[in-house]
Amino acid sequence: MYSALVSTPDRLIEATRDLLWERGYVGTSPKAIQQHAGAGQGSMYHHFAGKPDLALAAIVRTAAELRAGAELVLGGPGSAYERISAYLRREREVLRGCPVGRLTMDPDVIASDKLRAPVDETIGWLRGRLGEIVQQGLDQGEFDRSLNPDEIAATVVATVQGGYVLARASGSTAAFDAGVRGLLSLLAPRTGSA
């Protein structure tokens, strides 16, 4: 499944990332990781202390990838509204759900302070970054002054995560797309600068 050029630790981490997204923590057995990575048991335990250690490495990598992808759009050019719109409309695997957000529904991840920490930090970072952008829009007179940046940031994150749930439940991206359109219509600048 993975190129021979990819190191064994990277193959194990990538396999764990895929399996956590697909099956959750409990469904991600060491044997399944090894098979998915094309690595032996000795290799796995040579590089990682055990499943929790490997899961943490996978979650940290997934969180870093999510942050980098979000920042690429949020830190790009355009008005605050345009950047938020670009974030909401960026390409996603909607029917698979969010690889970080799904971990919040995994009782084994949430029960572990170590495994939960990168998930919580990433969601906190995203809310903070979105709040900064909303504040920039307020400072430039782009948004209605009654908007609270922290509340709008929480609403954007909730729209995305809730959109994933609705899409997965219906088997269609239509519910996700409708939520995005609805939120953007509520955020549309009153000055016509979008």
- Contact (Cβ atoms closer than 8 angstroms) between residue 37 and residue 7: no
Q: What is the pLDDT of residue 45?
A: 86
Q: What is the pLDDT of residue 193?
A: 46
Q: What is the pLDDT of residue 191?
A: 54
Q: What is the pLDDT of residue 42?
A: 86
- Contact (Cβ atoms closer than 8 angstroms) between residue 60 and residue 118: yes
Distance CA 145, CA 121 (A): 29
Q: What is the pLDDT of residue 4?
A: 60
Q: pLDDT tens across 19-49, in order? A: 999 999 999 999 999 999 998 888 888 899 9
Assigned token pair, 35: 């098979």
Distance CA 4, CA 38 (A): 10
Q: What is the pLDDT of residue 194?
A: 46
Q: What is the pLDDT of residue 2?
A: 55
Whole-prediction pTM: 0.89
Q: DSSP labels for the chain?
A: ---TTS-HHHHHHHHHHHHHHHHTTTT--HHHHHHHHT--HHHHHHH-SSHHHHHHHHHHHHHHHHHHHHHHHHTSSS-HHHHHHHHHHS---GGG--TTGGGGG-HHHHH-HHHHHHHHHHHHHHHHHHHHHHHHHHHTT-S-TT--HHHHHHHHHHHHHHHHHHHHHHTSTHHHHHHHHHHHHHH--TTS--
Q: List, for the chain, all residue ranges whose pLDDT scores fall below the cut of 50.
A: 192-194
Q: What is the pLDDT of residue 3?
A: 56
* Complete domains list, the chain, with CATH: 8-187 (1.10.357.10)
